[in-house]
Structure 1
């Protein structure tokens, strides 16, 4: 049985495999400090000269070892940063506060997890780490939000399944595995073995799902950052879901591309490439809404205090926020352009400073308020290329779309040329500083935005065309439908928050209510009652159901 032994080594203790080491149970009150030097792990324990922890198999030991290697070299939270040679690529590009916030969003930081791991009685890695995370249940909600994104999850599954020949009997690495759902898809496609690398404590729940699905021999959970972990073999395929808002936010793409060090020659990556699309847009309502927020600071007597001097700063803050929501394609004032990154071939430095010049021909006269962004990723398999798109013309995903406002609108006429530049500079907060500028007919506009701090504006309301897009009278069209006895939805797709399928269900429910009312009042009904019949019945009964039926009638007519 493999044993992880902690032996005295200078000021710390050396972690290594030691089959002959006796088992000593750790006490809860031990103070533990962890540091890393090359491939050795040093753990200093207060008032103890020898400690060991037993594991039922080598894979659990490997998981624990990688978990430990994920801890930064230090003796306390406030100690100096390790020497440059010991800093991983992730730590080199990320400030500590941002990393802690990021991993705590999806779970909790590994420093906390590992210290708790050592401070509890240890029988096996899985059982012990389960104890650590019992109070972390709320982080499952983050995974649920992504897993319930039907477009995201189903597209990944289809991309893997339709290209099963790329996974059959292959070794796979899942980078940022989270719940492990992509690892399970790879197993479904016939993968021989999957290394599920996850840097947050959600790896505990991933391991539990692996165990409960009887796949512990095929899915090996590797806790830690992909920049810092090690696996015993090269892999044939790397899978991941590394995309953030505007494709690049969170800088997970860099970790994904870093994982290529584990990839065999001619190996595959799913996804294989990403395209960031963008176009000019016009949205007077959004622009006025943002200006109105800053206008609070125009007051010269707020409870007797003149706050107007802060209005310029307030306006700057409001416009520094990229707007995350969805919108109707008719707000676009131009065609789209794109910037692409090849996850298999491009160097990771291509993501550090992204400069995108653009030239757009304006489609129609109007004000240009900024630039809208969305992205696609392609899964290039041996059988088929599958696309996952966040375009406004496609079903909505949890990425939505992103809009960056100019500091002032640009007036343009149809056919005029708008030139400008988009610049995205990676920062240590796992995000990007965004600079946009544009010029048309002697007018200029620009803005600086912080992608780390977006405005989440999506409310769930139905997306409607911008004002002035109706080519016939909507009121006349609705009246005509009612006159003809047509109770279908007046608009295709979603209208007033209801889909046709929902309205069919609503109609069926209303039929049941009407029949119940008719039965209680000795009024005979037929199975072919329409919306008008329901209203007639409820009006005849002449009580409170009138309002209910009328509201339902107008919902599905």
Structure 2
């Protein structure tokens, strides 16, 4: 995840646009602005990322042993031979490994590279053809999401029955995928009169035969790979059912909600490494917030079936198991789930917790669940769009009256007078080792910052621009428009708008009233658990989400009682639904307007990528 967020800013002078906005009457320090949810259009009817051949073709092949990437499969296999002492193509030929044996071999080596420290240092590797993994169907499942070696290794080896570069198409399996076989060569009889003509004609015929052989080989590879994809999909994505399930099997069909996609599965791959999980686990506010809710409400979890969406290392699943859950179903689509499996076994919870790899929108689970737990929140709450998946899980698997944890979140909005963000991103280019680099500001002006804001720099009230009751909100409702009014609490300047979110856990899933805040006293008085990601006074209260700053190019000089009135727009980016397009339209209303005062208003576009 990036800590640098893209922003753009444009000015707008249309009074009609301002007059068309709803007028806000908010003056409390912690109240909700009026907003309207966007419910545009029907969701597209699902998709199948096994059909994304273009995406797979775009990925450069990676070495089977180390992290090196090469432009072609041939160069990968040449590297494996030279650096790691393993000639894949020769081993495949000498041991008569068929298509599926070869697939298993590639995925086995990929898994070894992930699991065994120092595997990349392998200098000599050999197989006999009798290894168990060559028959183990679990190695038919791709270890790398976009492994181009799985569908191009056949192109590098001519099949049995070759003679002078020509492959007899009758010796090659064809039509397995319903593809049209290449048509045999139609040769025109050409008479030659000289030895040179005869030699050139022979070379032409050989070239035609080699081309036809390649076409047949390609057809064969396509057919086999289509069969392989169908087989893997059927084995590992459509039949993920726990045979030992004692609960009633869910009849829920896969969701038709459009799954937020990212090119080359960057989103899931970004959560495959330990460092990002360590960062989140080190966030004590976050992790202890979940732990305290679960442990302080063990009566809710005792004997229940719990679903952990995006389980990561398995920490929330183990909290639930330790609290007395009868069964925990843990789902993740990242490679981290393999480490979670080991964590759960190491702590003795394998009889309670079962892990399922896949996307919650597509996966089948053995039963309905009583509670859904998930740590899905991103920067500015909605960045990365994981809440969409949690809501799909709610609609597919949660029993009537079931609980989501957390059960409610709110996006809050305020301002800061801290100009350090402006200095760091804009003014920096005025003097770089004695040189001016003004042209560099063009893109920097479009950047916002995810960082910590000191509470002492907050100069207006704080308002809620979006309240999200998880039990009832829809995916379409995550796009929203909200009016806001921010009032200056002292004479000062405004250098940036600030966004963050608060999180609540309830025992019954009921909505938290808008007049209930997030302080420890309010949480205790209302028998709630929760935490804030807003500006705080002590390091121990900070979270890894920090706050999101929407920096102004020029600070606003204002007096106590002046108001910033505007509208906030939030929509998923149409090219990447995990990103957000944000817009802030505002104007300043002075408490004591004077003739000659500068009219302050703007129409700003921001982008979270």
TM-score by length of 2: 0.53
For residue 291 of structure 2, what is the aligned residue in structure 1?
157
Higher mean C-alpha deviation, range 436-445 or range 414-423: 436-445
For residue 414 of structure 1, what is the aligned residue in structure 2?
560
Which has the bigger relative contact order, CA under 8 A and spacing at least 6? Answer: 2
For residue 74 of structure 1, what is the aligned residue in structure 2?
none
The within-5 A match list for 1:503-514 is: none
- Counting matched residue pairs gives 358
Q: Is the 8 Å Cα contact of residues 406 and 436 (structure 1) preserved in structure 2?
A: no
For residue 369 of structure 2, what is the aligned residue in structure 1?
235
Distance 1:327 1:237, change over 3 A: same
> Unaligned stretches of 5+ in structure 2?
1-98, 100-131, 143-148, 152-221, 241-252, 509-525, 590-598
Cα drift, residue 150 of structure 1? 1.3
Give secondary structure in 1 for the equivalent of 2:503.
Answer: strand
Q: Is the 8 Å Cα contact of residues 497 and 550 (structure 2) preserved in structure 1?
A: yes
User: Which of residues 259, 264, 269 is equivalent to 1:104?
Assistant: 269
Cα drift, residue 205 of structure 1? 0.6
Give secondary structure in 1 for the equivalent of 2:388.
Answer: helix
The within-5 A match list for 1:150-549 is: 150-260=284-394, 261-295=396-430, 311=439, 314-338=440-464, 339-351=466-478, 353-382=479-508, 384-393=527-536, 395-427=541-573, 428-441=576-589, 442-452=599-609
For residue 94 of structure 1, what is the aligned residue in structure 2?
261
Give secondary structure in 2 for the equivalent of 1:250.
Answer: coil
| RMSD of Structure 2 on Structure 1 (CA) | 3.7
Give secondary structure in 1 for the equivalent of 2:496.
Answer: strand
- Residue 66 (str. 1) matches residue 193 (str. 2): no
Q: C-alpha separation between the residues in 2 aligned to 1:277 and 1:359? A: 12
Cα drift, residue 285 of structure 1? 3.0
For residue 488 of structure 1, what is the aligned residue in structure 2?
none
Deviations 1:346-404 (A, max 9, x none): 111111x2212111211112221121112111001159310121121261111111211
Give secondary structure in 2 for the equivalent of 1:106.
Answer: coil
Q: Is the 8 Å Cα contact of residues 360 and 418 (structure 1) preserved in structure 2?
A: yes
The within-5 A match list for 1:113-152 is: 139-152=273-286
Q: C-alpha separation between the residues in 2 aligned to 1:237 and 1:418? A: 41
Cα drift, residue 32 of structure 1? 5.0
Distance 1:101 1:46, change over 3 A: closer
Q: C-alpha separation between the residues in 2 aligned to 1:426 and 1:411? A: 33
Distance 1:87 1:165, change over 3 A: closer
Report the structure, 1 or 2, having the larger strand content. 1
TM-score by length of 1: 0.58
Distance 1:295 1:46, change over 3 A: same
Q: C-alpha separation between the residues in 2 aligned to 1:95 and 1:187? A: 33
Q: C-alpha separation between the residues in 2 aligned to 1:86 and 1:236? A: 19
Q: Is the 8 Å Cα contact of residues 23 and 52 (structure 1) preserved in structure 2?
A: no
> Unaligned stretches of 5+ in structure 1?
1-7, 9-21, 34-42, 54-60, 70-84, 108-138, 453-557
Q: C-alpha separation between the residues in 2 aligned to 1:44 and 1:164? A: 54
Give secondary structure in 1 for the equivalent of 2:568.
Answer: strand
Deviations 1:416-468 (A, max 9, x none): 1210122121122512012123211431134322211xxxxxxxxxxxxxxxx
Give secondary structure in 2 for the equivalent of 1:249.
Answer: coil
Moved over 3 A (4+): 26-33, 43-49, 66-69, 85-91, 293-299
Q: C-alpha separation between the residues in 2 aligned to 1:324 and 1:46? A: 44
Give secondary structure in 1 for the equivalent of 2:330.
Answer: strand
Q: C-alpha separation between the residues in 2 aligned to 1:48 and 1:415? A: 70
Q: C-alpha separation between the residues in 2 aligned to 1:156 and 1:369? A: 34
Deviations 1:39-94 (A, max 9, x none): xxxx9756999x999xxxxxxx99x723998xxxxxxxxxxxxxxx9996354x32
Cα drift, residue 335 of structure 1? 0.8
